Amino acid sequence: MQAAHEDITYFANISSTRALDDHAVLLTGHVLHRSERGRPLKAERVWLYVVVENQLYRSRVFRTEVEAQEVYRRLGISLGV
């Protein structure tokens, strides 16, 4: 994660959003970053945002929507924190 913050080539792009319920939303898209060898990489990702009282309460990043939905179903708005 630290390397991503230091890499000026890191870029996230959101292509779609979908509400799961009154608190959770899935954002689907991709990130562009560099490998440890400096090669550009593109990776599909899903961000799970949990909003409570109009503020971002929790967030996590997943490789698939199925994984994100399962974690939210299992752990609820706390996402296990």
pLDDT tens-digit map of 58-79: 999 999 999 999 999 999 999 9
Residues 9-27 have a mean pLDDT of 93
Contacts of 71 (CB under 8 A, 6+ apart): 48, 60, 62, 79, 80
Residue-level pLDDT at 3: 59
CATH class of 2-78: alpha beta
Q: Where are the domains of the chain?
A: 2-78
Query: How many whole angstroms separate alpha carbon 46 and alpha carbon 44?
Result: 7
Query: How many whole angstroms separate alpha carbon 51 and alpha carbon 26?
Result: 11
